[in-house]
A and B are shown apart, each in its own frame.
Chain A
Amino acid sequence: MKMIRNRFGNLSRVSAQLQRHVQQMSTNAAAAPEEGAVINEFRTAVTNPGEHSALQVAKFYTIPAEQKKQIFAGGGLPKQYEQQIKTFTEACLMVRNPALELLQYIKATDLTKPVVRYVLYGENGTGKTLSMAHVLHYGALNDFLLVHVPWAPNWMKRPKEASNAAGQEGMIDLPFDAAAWLVHFKAQNSQLLQRLQLKTSKEYVWSKRESTPAGSSLIELVEHGIARIKYASETTAALIAELKQLSTAGQCKVMVAIDGFNAFFHPVTRIFSDNKQLVTPDRITLTQPFLDITNYDWTNGVCILSVDKIAMTEGHMDSHMPRYLLGQEGFEHLDPFVPVLVENYTDKEFHSYINYYLDRHWINKTPQGFEEQLKFMSNKNPYSLMQLVRAL
């Protein structure tokens, strides 16, 4: 029942006409579990990722719409998966082994020790981002401040605007992207920030007239960055430095999640300076804070990073292994890290996913052997499967 209520809550935000239409659909779809009063075998009622264990492997759990909006409103789920969520009117994630492994590590972590860096890697479309989303959900529910970059290569590949940094010579600011990230940070953490009442440790002077005094709350800092887009990059750097200090002091826990982390070390970007020279990531002001927070010199946190072939550019996509994608510099920055492999579906997961699609009436025609056929055509790759069964 809770699930259905959530779905209605979600729908109330959609336009009235669509609402009526979809409501009809969802009530029809919801009829099945109500009748049997038992949950389908491919679903699990455990919606708290902290309670997930090997029992729930290959089963779907639903992220409540409120939480989904809080965590993933600014990105974090792949676009096509987002569309699928909208179509199915429920945000379902499959409990899979890489995420479980990470959760187990995080739960057992000694937070007084320097942060441990976990690196998700795997072929294209195997579910690195969704594994990260699963862990993010855990972090949000367990009072971790989320420092989440939904897709780092966006900054290097398609920045909204690039301007020369005011303070530092030869550096490039991405003010709009930095502000967008601050908005994302605020959306994810505003409740927790209000509860924790974190204060800045020193005064930040932005210009002659503007400054953030020491002892002001972090929310004020973030809001200043959002309001004064010109200083968004500097605000980001300040915010991250503050977070490192605060968490080392034990005032908060921080979960860093950066998708496509190898983009910070890939020298090819699409940003050009005034004299039409290519700007390497180390000359972007946003890079340094995120490299700082993935360093091992602070405590009370976890780092979940993912390395991805797609974060690279043409000619650099030969392997999905972390050392290749990070390069020497990146490897030295992260070493020692814990690599976590994300693989294609197992048979059980694949079967479960097909059942889910059937349950959502997404697969309508079920001729003899269609599951085997899909299995061979997609090679059990999650993204390939989604593409194969997508709408035209």
Chain B
Amino acid sequence: MSAGLTRLWERLPLKKHAAQSRIRVFSNQDQPEIEDDEEFRVLSLRTVKQQFQRRQQVRRDPITPPRTTRMAVDQDWTAVWPGPRSFHPASVPLPLRQGFTERGAAAPSKFANAELMKIPNFLHLTPPAIRQQCEAIKRFCTPWPKGLETEAKWQRHFPIEVTTTDYCQSLPTIRNPEARKVTVSLKLSDLRFDSHSRDKFLRLVGDRYNKETDILTIVTDRCPQKKQNYDYALYLLTACYHESFVTEPWEETKSEADMEEYLFERNQSKISAEGILNWNAKEGAPKESPSKSYANSVEQLINEGENEYNLGKYKEEVKKMLNIV
């Protein structure tokens, strides 16, 4: 179809010219035809986009010089840098340099220096700033209570330590779910126990007790409110403490094999040692009992396990008790 049309077009050269010239008349009315004669016109069947379009220039504001150049020497620095913020070169009037370059060259300057922005700075915590803030909050402070001057004193009066956290955040809600957590800690030596209740209490609290530091820590977060969690923590502490003094009937069935540690007092060793010491003793004569140090050495041997030191100590104590030289 198109081939037939082209052929027809070629056969009619005159008509084609007339049509073109007519178009030009309508479209380029006010432009003088300069190139008409010089350049061979190209037949363009499709409208081709203009090939060389000039890229649009982005308009930029001229760079203002850094603010540091306009800073007065006696300016109020706390106003320039009021809070924690990552480093900004134009605000800090210091010729800082940071970073690594090739050997011999100076370290990169502070402008566009990621190294300086990465590290935390304390430009908001200058001594005048701290002084200023302390002055500001001074009017909210009350005098330090008398009689609580030293740490030992206030720890005696306030053995329980309660730790909570408040969160400040820029969210539609001011609530933070973490804020409900309450941590209550105290030294176990502040509570009074007998041996049974202490043992039972430690079993009840489980791994909340740190043996090395003697500190019991209760963390509660199961209630929605901080106040509720605090009450619950104190309830737990109270309940465990009082429960530990209760002796259940089944606790009587605890046998020697169930004991967590060896005690000389309730073992065969004591009977043997007494038997030897009171050998051929008269009826009614005061009973001689084995020495404390011997009992300790046996307990140490069994509880800590055998080693040359414990066994040597045991040997010395036995020799002392049996009068062997």
Contact = CB atoms under 8 A, between A and B. Distances in A.
Interface of A: 104-105, 108-110, 112-114, 116, 296-297, 299, 319, 321-324, 332, 335-339, 341
Interface residues of B, number: 26
A333 to B, nearest CB: 8
B268 A336 contact: no
A336 B294 contact: yes
B276 A296 contact: yes
Contact of B279 (A113, A322, A335, A339): A113
Contact of B321 (A112, A319, A336, A341): A336
A323 B318 contact: no
A321 B294 contact: no
A106 to B, nearest CB: 10
A332 B314 contact: no
Interface stretch (B29-37, B125-133, B224-232, B298-306): B298-306
A230 B252 CA distance: 48
Given A321-B306, A322-B311, A114 B276 contact: yes
Contacts of B269: 332, 335-336
- Residue among A116, A296, A335 with the most chain B CB within 10 A? A335
B319 interface: yes
Contacts of B319: 338
Contacts of A335: 268-269, 272-273, 298
B272 A296 contact: yes
B88 interface: no
Nearest to A325: B306
Given A297-B275, A335-B269, A336-B294, A108 B302 contact: no
Given A319-B306, A332-B267, A337-B318, 17 more contacts: A104-B325, A105-B324, A112-B280, A113-B279, A114-B275, A297-B275, A299-B279, A322-B306, A322-B311, A323-B306, A335-B272, A336-B269, A336-B272, A336-B276, A336-B298, A338-B319, A339-B314
29 contacts: A104-B325, A105-B324, A105-B325, A110-B323, A112-B280, A113-B322, A113-B323, A114-B279, A116-B322, A296-B272, A296-B275, A319-B306, A321-B307, A322-B306, A323-B301, A323-B302, A324-B306, A332-B267, A332-B272, A335-B268, A335-B273, A335-B298, A336-B273, A336-B276, A336-B294, A336-B321, A338-B322, A339-B314, A341-B311
A104 to B, nearest CB: 8
Given A297-B275, A319-B306, A321-B306, A336 B322 contact: yes
Contacts of B294: 336
B315 A116 contact: no
B239 to A, nearest CB: 37
B264 to A, nearest CB: 10
Contacts of A104: 325
- Residue among B269, B301, B322 with the most chain A CB within 10 A? B322
Contacts, number: 62
A108 B324 contact: yes
A104 B273 CA distance: 23
Contacts of B302: 323
Contacts of A299: 279
SS of B interface (majority): helix
Interface in B234-273: 267-269, 272-273
B294 to A, nearest CB: 7
Interface of B: 267-269, 272-273, 275-276, 279-280, 294, 298, 301-302, 306-308, 311, 314-315, 318-319, 321-325
Contacts of B311: 321-323, 339, 341
Nearest to A121: B311
SS of A interface (majority): mixed
B306 A332 contact: no
B83 to A, nearest CB: 64
Given A335-B269, A336-B269, A108 B325 contact: yes
Contacts of A321: 306-307, 311
A324 B318 CA distance: 19
A226 B249 CA distance: 57
A262 to B, nearest CB: 14
Nearest to A332: B268
Nearest to B316: A338
Given A296-B275, A322-B311, A116 B324 contact: yes
B324 A338 contact: yes
Nearest to A336: B318
Contacts of B324: 105, 108-109, 116, 338
Nearest to B319: A338
Contacts of A332: 267-269, 272
B58 to A, nearest CB: 81
A61 B49 CA distance: 122
Nearest to A112: B280
- The 8 A-B residue pairs with the shortest CB-CB distance, nearest first, are A332-B268, A321-B306, A336-B318, A335-B269, A323-B306, A114-B276, A114-B279, A339-B315
Nearest to B306: A321
Nearest to A110: B323
Contacts of A322: 306, 311
A184 B231 CA distance: 79
B268 to A, nearest CB: 4
A112 B279 CA distance: 9
Nearest to B267: A332
Contacts of B315: 338-339
A350 B73 CA distance: 87
A321 B311 CA distance: 9
Contacts of B267: 332
Contacts of B318: 336-338
Nearest to B297: A336
Nearest to A107: B325
- Residue among B276, B280, B319, B321 with the most chain A CB within 10 A? B276
A332 B294 CA distance: 15
B315 to A, nearest CB: 5
Nearest to B315: A339
A321 B276 CA distance: 24
A114 B324 CA distance: 12
B116 to A, nearest CB: 61
B302 to A, nearest CB: 7
A309 B267 CA distance: 26
